[in-house]
A and B are shown apart, each in its own frame.
Chain A
Amino acid sequence: MNIVVLVKQVPDSGLARRLDEQLRVDRNGANNVMGELDEYAVEAALQLKEAHGGEVTVVTVGPDQASDTVRKTLAMGADKAVHVVDDAIAGSDALATSKILAAALGRLEYDLIVAGAESTDSGMGVMPHLLAARLGVPAATGVRKIELDGDGIKVEHQRDNGYDVLTASLPAIVSVWDTINTPRYSSLKGIMAAKRKPVETLSLSDLGIDPSEVGAGAAATEVRSATDRPERTAGQIVADEGEGGRALAEFLAVEKFI
């Protein structure tokens, strides 16, 4: 089974993040990491490969430094990677990025494409369905379990008040939540082996995409302003010296919650 995993390098969501002067996500900070949910996608792909055989290929679109993220996936156990990098890509919106990814996927053979349910920078959660529309491949998204089922897959799509069991034919696209597994750490052996694994670097022209079709100039949405929300500040903090519960109830009463 050929599995492709889509990953994206993002600024660490645990640290302060900002937009740069051009109102784009500032990716120049040192704190770039693999999209936190993408780790679960890599793990899901590796588990499927371990159970059923096949090959795991990682695909990413991003600047040079995204090669750190690519290396991390290879160290976890992915077999090879495709990294699309081109200066003209900077400032691309989700539509343009999906065009680039669709072209990169079009050069690969795959039975299953696995992605994180959303990136942890933009958090849009739309890429799998943008790709489904472009590639004409069915998408079963937001899942917490993936199994092979005859010639297809069976997944559990998570919702607020339960879940749906979905079955789909292959090839298909799935996206995963962090409930699906516990991503492995890369071993030293994995880190060493990653250095010898093939990474194909592609430009827009390799994909037959004209630079004018992507990037900031082609974006169909435009950020006009960005303001930092004033941070919430601490109100009244009391130490419990035997009356903390009553003080809490008093506060709730003053605020008319009781």
Chain B
Amino acid sequence: MADILVYVPNSGKSAAETLTLGRSLGQVSAVAFDDSAASLAAEYGAAKVYRVTAEGADDYFVDPKASVLIDLAGRVGPDAFLLPGTDEGRALVARLAVALDSGFLTDVSGLDAEGTATQDIFAGATVTTSKITKGINLATVKPGAVNAEPAPAEPETEAVDAAVAETDKRVKIAERVDEPAGDRPGLAEADVVVSGGRGVGSAEDFALIERVADALGGAVGASRAATDAGYYPHKFQVGQTGTTVSPQLYVAAGISGAIQHRAGMQTSRVIVAVNKDVDAPIFGMSDFGVVGDLFQVLPQALEEIEKRK
């Protein structure tokens, strides 16, 4: 059976997805730097957990973890090494590729036992299959592309003690500033996302978008025109340079549907748009659309939703 190493950074959704994909390829050994990651690995079927203690590693950016992963990969010699396709995952996969002199792929949406990976390119317009022809199957897994399925196991645990080398201390995390999302689900994980664009017109009126999101139990998103204008914080931006979402339902209100926005939401299962311009490109990809003023349509929809609940 193939040996699959999986980097488990935390107990988040993309870590669970990466473990699930790993399990479909062979026997998973997870690399966990804390207990929550180790228990996620057990919940998602890892046969083994390398539980790493690296005193001080969290105070530095990327390098200490890269060194641990490089060491482990060298020692274990896996057939594949999968990482979640987060910014950290992309940084780590690059470090591993150079150290192991291995080919690698980023943001794979699937990978089979023969090593054939699928990827979405050009903002999802084209699907490619690729193969790594040198080294191991080293890849980051696109968040949201794999359905995370638990498979509780009782993995063997191996403690790994790692010291942080001086050369890995050159980029220090001086401060962590968290901007909590509040009571709403996280944008990347939500089943429903309700997004507002330039058409919302002001920060105050984003309250309407929030009310629709809350009525549907969803997260709030925004287009870049809306975040640039300061209507809503940047971290809620959906699109090529924002978050990629793939919810069951995506509602776009006052969003034209520029290609960079579509890049972040077009794999949503159901897309609904409200826009006063009948020619807005967003309608061309919507399962349901209302051509009209969002300030008329959404309040009426809200009223009806409350009635039906």
Contact = CB atoms under 8 A, between A and B. Distances in A.
* Consensus secondary structure, chain A interface: mixed
What bracket does the count of chain B residues touching chain A fall in? 35 or more
A139 B224 CA distance: 27
Q: Which of B120, B241, B286 has the most CB of A within 10 A?
A: B241
What bracket does the count of chain A residues touching chain B fall in? 35 or more
Contacts of B235: 158, 160-162
Interface in A222-258: 222-229, 231-240, 243-253, 255, 257-258
Given A159-B87, A164-B177, A165-B174, A126 B94 contact: yes
Interface in B106-132: 106-107, 116, 120-132
Interface in B261-309: 266, 270-272, 274, 278, 283-293, 296-305, 308-309
Interface in B88-118: 90-95, 97-99, 102-107, 116
A219 B105 CA distance: 12
Interface string B154-187: 0000000000000100111111111111000011
Contacts, number: 275
Given A139-B62, A139-B91, A221-B104, A244 B130 contact: no
A90 interface: no
14 contacts: A19-B126, A23-B128, A123-B240, A124-B106, A130-B97, A160-B186, A161-B181, A161-B186, A165-B174, A166-B174, A224-B116, A239-B278, A240-B290, A248-B288
Interface of A: 13-14, 16-19, 23, 37, 93-95, 98, 117, 120-130, 132-134, 136, 138-142, 154, 157-169, 172, 177-179, 219-229, 231-240, 243-253, 255, 257-258
Interface of B: 61-63, 87, 90-95, 97-99, 102-107, 116, 120-135, 167, 170-181, 186-188, 192, 215-216, 224, 234-235, 240-241, 243, 248-249, 258-260, 266, 270-272, 274, 278, 283-293, 296-305, 308-309
